[in-house]
Structure 1
Amino acid sequence: MSGRVSARRVWRVVLLAATVAAVVVLSRRLEAADLGERLRSAHPGWVLAAAACSLLPLFGNVASMAALSPVHLPPVRTCVLWLATSFVNLVTPSSSGGVALTVRYLQRRGLPLAVAVTTIGIVQSTSLVVTGVLILAALLRAGRSAGSTVSVPWPLLGAGTAVLVVALLLARLHPRVRRWTAQRVVAPVRAEWPALRRVLTHPGRVAVALLGHLGVPLGFAATLWCAVRAVGGEAPLLLLVLVVVGSSAVTAAVPVPGGVGASEAALTAGLVACGVTAEAALSAALLHRTLTFWLRVPPAWVALVWLRGRHAV
């Protein structure tokens, strides 16, 4: 009993500290960005459209998780979970807190720790594959579009393919590289393969998972596209898919809680590269982050407290 009480006290202290940190970061960010002035000058119809599109990634994550999970996940409670991760990710770098919270949620649903971690690994692995195919399709389509300023970087793609082939040869021939590959790549894949094979025997679940994975980058891209239109700019939707995926990669690589600053900078740079003016790009990036992250923080805190009160995490 004392151990349980002490664990609850530790959790309350952590939650209190996270809340204070979130409030301070959020207030400073909103003050520095002067979002009120920017939103007042934006087109209200496009802002509402961006707000609606910003919900698509949430539903996409829930759909893919529910489809690939070996146990039944209540849709409403799982939506609340993904909302709660927005608060946890604000105070942890590289979304590590959100992953830990999701693993805890799966454990509460009856999965052992190893199976819960494997499930997360399957979801992330399949998401990576789907995102990679989407990026390639966007590059090819953008390069063939009439009037497009984007050309497919065939030399760069060829060099990347050559590097991949050399890496595979090293992994095959060099003993030390072969051992590292067996431990870090082959072993995790073998551990996840039985569960993944069981999922692949249900075409309906696979289709739902694929649609969910596609909904995440396409939802973020649609939100950014509407945000650009709201501030008077224009950019092709296909290019914005590349912008949001690149921004996510930059945010994950920078060890800053919530990707504060890094995500906004990456989105702005990507929009400028797509031909949007610097001022409009910054406004669109801030509006995008406001709808997809900052405005979710207060309800995400409520969602986290709600889940804790029902012992769901």
Structure 2
Amino acid sequence: MAARPVRLALCLAPLLLVVVWGLTNRPLMYEGAARLTSADPGWLLAALGFTCLGWVAASCVRQGALPERLPPGLLLASQFAAGAANHALPAGIGAHAVTLRFLRGRGIPLDRATASLALYSLVKPVAKTLVLVVFLAASPAGRQLGELVPDRRTLLTVLAAVVTLAAVAAVLLTVVQSLRRPVTALLRTALADARQLHTRPCRVLALWGGAAAMPLLQACVVASVGSAMGLPVSWAEVVIAFLAAGTAVGAVPAPGGIAVDAALVFTLVAFGSPLALATATVIGFRVLTDWLPLLPGALVLSALIRSKVL
């Protein structure tokens, strides 16, 4: 009997989060909606199409990170619902929690499901960085970044922070035996699954192809919104701006990508866009990718919980 109130609370929690988020972000929602009402509807429709393809790409990466075949429809629904969960927790934790519940419901053991999430989290930034390098090498727009490229002091600071974190992790694993055993088992499982996945071309294509497509599709959403609003920046420049902003500050654990949005506005301005128009473009991007799907995503999340898929 006690399980029913708990499940009901879990079903209603996503909707409650949507209401709270909407009430606390009323000015942003109003400004973004007002800008979009005067934009070119054709380009906005294209942006919506790229947004939908982004969920398909995310599903491909999730499937590519696991040897077992997952039901495509439910996998896509879980990724759509994961977008709503991401507004409650920062740094992708909400999406990972939803996916973990989904994988456990499909009978995947906890260690292998966790290893799948780790592989997903590793492949995404690596693929994004590789795509950025290709665009910087192939497009003359990359030379316009100029002042946005970190100097040697910044790079050394970042490197020192990474080395320090690695050293602290190594010390903890060496000293704390209770922590070493599960982490070692997780790494062993992750390496075994990664080796198996990379012997199957279909999984490699889904994993790496989907991871490369995700940031490109998101950049196409920004470019489409910018075209709808008359942004004086080319598509190649918008793609480079989005990839550079996401790569630079994508690891900042801020809900809703606040740090990435600020960096994207700054990068678009560096490419010659007026500040007001760059801000409106990023707001429009968030309206289409986050705010508009938020309520449907919460409803899907509640439905998946109610049907015990999650």
Which amino acid is the alignment partner of residue 224 of structure 1?
V
* 1:1-313 matches, cutoff 5 A: 5-32=1-28, 33-142=30-139, 145=140, 148-151=143-146, 156=151, 160=155, 179=171, 187=184, 189-245=187-243, 246-247=245-246, 250=249, 252-256=251-255, 258-259=256-257, 261-313=258-310
Percent identity, aligned pairs only, is 27
What SS does the aligned partner of 1:42 have? coil
8 A contact 1:131–1:213 mirrored in 2:
yes
TM-score normalised per structure 2: 0.83
What SS does the aligned partner of 2:86 have? helix
Q: Separation in 1 of the partners of 2:18 and 2:249? A: 21
Q: CA deviation at 1:90?
A: 1.6
8 A contact 1:71–1:109 mirrored in 2:
no
What SS does the aligned partner of 1:55 have? helix
* 1:74-119 Cα distance to aligned partner (Å, 9 max, x none): 1111111011012211222222121111011000111111111011
5+ long unaligned stretches in structure 1: none
* 1:176-204 Cα distance to aligned partner (Å, 9 max, x none): 785458769x9454441111000011122
Q: CA deviation at 1:54?
A: 1.3
8 A contact 2:55–2:80 mirrored in 1:
yes
Aligned residues: CA RMSD: 3.4
What SS does the aligned partner of 1:90 have? coil
Q: CA deviation at 1:253?
A: 1.6
Q: Separation in 1 of the partners of 2:188 and 2:89? A: 30
Q: Separation in 1 of the partners of 2:159 and 2:23? A: 45
TM-score normalised per structure 1: 0.82
* 1:109-131 Cα distance to aligned partner (Å, 9 max, x none): 11111111011111221222211
* 1:251-294 Cα distance to aligned partner (Å, 9 max, x none): 652444x34x5454333223222221111111111110011111
Change (3 A) 1:189 1:140: farther
* 1:125-159 Cα distance to aligned partner (Å, 9 max, x none): 122221121122233334xx179523598884798
What SS does the aligned partner of 1:306 have? helix
5+ long unaligned stretches in structure 2: 175-179
Q: CA deviation at 1:52?
A: 1.1
8 A contact 1:22–1:91 mirrored in 2:
no
The higher relative CO (CA closer than 8 Å, separation ≥ 6) is in 2
8 A contact 1:140–1:152 mirrored in 2:
no
Q: CA deviation at 1:249?
A: 6.2
What SS does the aligned partner of 1:110 have? coil
Q: CA deviation at 1:20?
A: 2.2
